[in-house]
Structure 1
Amino acid sequence: MRLVASDIDGTILGHDGKISDRTVKAFKACRDAGVELVFVTGRPPRWLYPLQEQLGHSGIVICSNGAVVWDLETEKPISSCTLDITSIFEARRIIKSLRPDALFAVETLTGFQLEPGFLENETSELLAEFTPAPLDQTLAADAAVVKFLAITRRGTPDEFLAEVQPAVAHLVSTTHSAPRTAMLEMSVPGINKAVTLAKYAESLAIEAADVVAFGDMPNDIEMLRWAGHGYAMASGHPEAILAAGQQAPHFDDDGVAQILEAILAEQTV
Structure 2
Amino acid sequence: MRLIASDIDGTILGHDGLISQRTVEAFAGAAAAGVDIVFVTGRPPRWLDPIREQIGHTGTVICSNGAVSYDLATEEVTASHVLDWDTVAQVRAIVTELAPEPYFALESLTGFHVEDGFFGNRTAGAGLVPGALTPGMADGGIIKMLAILHSGNADEFLNLVRPGVASLMTVTHSAPDMALLEMGPLGVNKAVTLAQYAAARGIDAADVVAFGDMPNDIEMLSWAGAGYAMASGHPDALAAAALQAPRFELDGVAQVIESRLAALRLA
Deviation at 1:26, TM superposition (A): 0.1
Q: Which residue of 2 aligns with 1:234?
A: 231
Q: Which residue of 1 aligns with 2:116?
A: 116
Deviation at 1:11, TM superposition (A): 0.2
**Distance in 2 between residues matched to 1:9 and 1:153, nearest whole Å:** 22
8 Å contact kept, 2:13–2:19 = yes
Judged with a 3 Å threshold, the aligned counterparts in structure 2 of structure 1 residues 209 and 5 are, in CA distance, closer, same or farther, namely same
Gaps of 5+ in 1: none
8 Å contact kept, 2:67–2:81 = yes
> C-alpha root-mean-square deviation of aligned residues, in Å?
0.9
Q: Which residue of 2 aligns with 1:174?
A: 171
Residue 161 of structure 2 aligns with an amino acid whose one-letter code is V
Deviation at 1:154, TM superposition (A): 2.3
Q: Which residue of 1 aligns with 2:63?
A: 63
**Distance in 1 between residues matched to 2:127 and 2:77, nearest whole Å:** 22
TM-score computed with the length of structure 1 as normaliser: 0.97
2:184 aligned with 1:187: yes
Partner SS, residue 77 of structure 2: strand
Residue 21 of structure 2 aligns with an amino acid whose one-letter code is D
Partner SS, residue 239 of structure 2: helix
**Distance in 1 between residues matched to 2:141 and 2:7, nearest whole Å:** 24
Judged with a 3 Å threshold, the aligned counterparts in structure 2 of structure 1 residues 198 and 141 are, in CA distance, closer, same or farther, namely closer
**Distance in 2 between residues matched to 1:6 and 1:196, nearest whole Å:** 13
Deviation at 1:110, TM superposition (A): 1.1
Equivalent residues in 2 for 1:133-172 (5 A)? 133-136=131-134, 139-172=136-169
Per-residue Cα deviation, 1:208-241 (whole angstroms, up to 9, x for no partner): 0000000000000000000000000000000000
8 Å contact kept, 2:68–2:80 = yes
Gaps of 5+ in 2: none
Deviation at 1:245, TM superposition (A): 1.9
Deviation at 1:121, TM superposition (A): 1.7
**Distance in 2 between residues matched to 1:242 and 1:170, nearest whole Å:** 24
Q: Which residue of 1 aligns with 2:249?
A: 252
Partner SS, residue 142 of structure 1: helix
8 Å contact kept, 2:4–2:35 = yes
Per-residue Cα deviation, 1:97-124 (whole angstroms, up to 9, x for no partner): 1113000000000110001111112125
**Distance in 2 between residues matched to 1:22 and 1:140, nearest whole Å:** 42
Equivalent residues in 2 for 1:1-269 (5 A)? 1-124=1-124, 127-136=125-134, 139-269=136-266
**Distance in 1 between residues matched to 2:209 and 2:220, nearest whole Å:** 10
Residue 33 of structure 1 aligns with an amino acid whose one-letter code is A
Residue 238 of structure 2 aligns with an amino acid whose one-letter code is I
Deviation at 1:27, TM superposition (A): 0.1
Residue 11 of structure 1 aligns with an amino acid whose one-letter code is T
**Distance in 2 between residues matched to 1:186 and 1:231, nearest whole Å:** 24
Identity %: 59
**Number of residues of Structure 1 aligned to a counterpart in Structure 2:** 266
Deviation at 1:180, TM superposition (A): 1.3
8 Å contact kept, 2:120–2:150 = no
